[in-house]
């Protein structure tokens, strides 16, 4: 099982889109894929037509189990989706209280520890993280082996990236292994100078940590989201699907030695 998180201390940069789109591509290739929503806004949860204000079981239950010192078994809280091989551990807006209660009693490893129980059930786990540093983001960063940091292709976004990398440095100290990350330029519009300049500065400053391609602006992203269908199923040839597929290939080729074979028959 491989666990990736998508995080940035800024909203609206394409975190949820990255999780849903990569997840859809992985599932359609036959990988058993689990998406975890750790954002109290519950956008990932809403994407799959579940209401984070009303949902009965969610990732919130895991945090409650942790407080009650019960064993951490996410199975009963995971829901299937309409897409074969794609499951979701949804968020309830109640997880905002986890954030408010702060890091009381080592709550930072709830997700990491609970994923151990489903290690054989999934090939990939993708975690959508909230846009603020707190217990939930710490859970995402502690559980993953690789992090994607989507960054808008506009100049102001570079400040946010700096802040995120600072956070990683702080959190990195409490991890056993270094956390690898990839900066993913998102909502790239080749017609604007801002996009092109931001990309250039990003590559100058962060070099190899920046993925060498970009996720373009693609109106189909919004349409797929409105339809509640991962983009790769909604419009397999969409520009953004092609770009996210490239990103996935890049990741899979980097770690050939630890490659995971699809467990489901590919459709």
Cβ-based nearer residue to Mg ion, 44 or 238: 44
**Contact call for residue 139 and Mg ion (CB under 5 A):** no
Stretches 9-17, 30-38, 57-65, 192-200: which one binds ligand ADP (CB under 6 A)? 9-17
Kindly calculate the radius of gyration of the chain based on its CA atoms and give it in whole angstroms: 17
**Contact call for residue 25 and ligand ADP (CB under 6 A):** no
**Contact call for residue 218 and ligand ADP (CB under 6 A):** yes
**Contact call for residue 43 and Mg ion (CB under 5 A):** yes
- Of 57, 112, 179, 217, the one binding ligand ADP (CB under 6 A) is 217
Kindly write out the interface string for residues 174-203 of this chain, putting x where it contacts ligand ADP by CB under 6 A and - elsewhere.
------------xx----------------
- Residues 260 and 248: beta-carbon distance below 8 Å: no
Q: 217 burial class (0-12, 13-18, 19+ CB within 10 angstroms)?
A: middle
Please state the closest distance from residue 159 (CB atom) to ligand ADP, in A.
Answer: 16
Stretches 65-73, 133-141, 194-202, 220-228: which one binds ligand ADP (CB under 6 A)? 220-228
**Contact call for residue 159 and ligand ADP (CB under 6 A):** no
Tell me the residue nearest to Mg ion as measured from the CB: 16
In the chain, the N- to C-terminal Cα span, in Å, equals: 21
- Coil, strand or helix at 92: coil
Please state the closest distance from residue 88 (CB atom) to ligand ADP, in A.
Answer: 15
Stretches 27-35, 86-94, 160-168, 219-227: which one binds ligand ADP (CB under 6 A)? 219-227
Stretches 91-99, 116-124, 138-146, 217-225: which one binds ligand ADP (CB under 6 A)? 217-225
**Contact call for residue 238 and ligand ADP (CB under 6 A):** no
**Contact call for residue 15 and Mg ion (CB under 5 A):** yes
Residue 193 tokens read as: 């100078």
Binding site for Mg ion (CB under 5 A): 15-16, 43
């Amino acid at each position: 099982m491989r666990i990736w998180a998508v995080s940035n201390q800024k909203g609206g940069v394409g975190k949820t889109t990255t999780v849903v789109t990569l997840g859809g591509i992985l599932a359609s290739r036959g990988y058993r894929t689990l998406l975890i929503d750790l954002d109290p806004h519950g956008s990932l949860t809403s994407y799959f037509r579940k209401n984070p204000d009303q949902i009965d079981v969610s990732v919130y239950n895991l945090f409650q189990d942790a407080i009650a010192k019960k064993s951490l078994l996410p199975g009963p809280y995971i829901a299937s989706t309409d897409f074969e091989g794609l499951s979701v551990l949804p968020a309830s807006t109640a997880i905002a209280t986890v954030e408010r209660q702060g890091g009381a009693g080592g709550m930072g490893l709830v997700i990491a520890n609970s994923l151990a129980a489903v290690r054989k059930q999934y090939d990939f786990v993708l975690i959508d993280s909230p846009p603020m540093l707190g217990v939930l983001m710490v859970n995402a960063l502690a559980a993953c082996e690789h992090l994607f940091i989507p960054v808008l292709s506009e100049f102001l976004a570079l400040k946010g990236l700096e802040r995120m990398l600072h956070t990683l440095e702080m959190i990195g100290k409490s991890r056993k292994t270094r956390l690898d990350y990839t900066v993913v330029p998102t909502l790239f519009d080749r017609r604007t100078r801002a996009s092109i300049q931001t990309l250039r500065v990003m590559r100058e400053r962060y070099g190899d940590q920046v993925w060498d391609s970009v996720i373009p602006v693609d109106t189909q992203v919004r349409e797929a989201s409105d339809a509640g269908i991962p983009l790769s199923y909604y419009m397999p040839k969409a520009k953004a699907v092609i770009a996210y597929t490239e990103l996935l290939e890049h990741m899979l080729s980097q770690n050939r030695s630890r490659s995971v074979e699809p467990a489901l028959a590919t459709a």
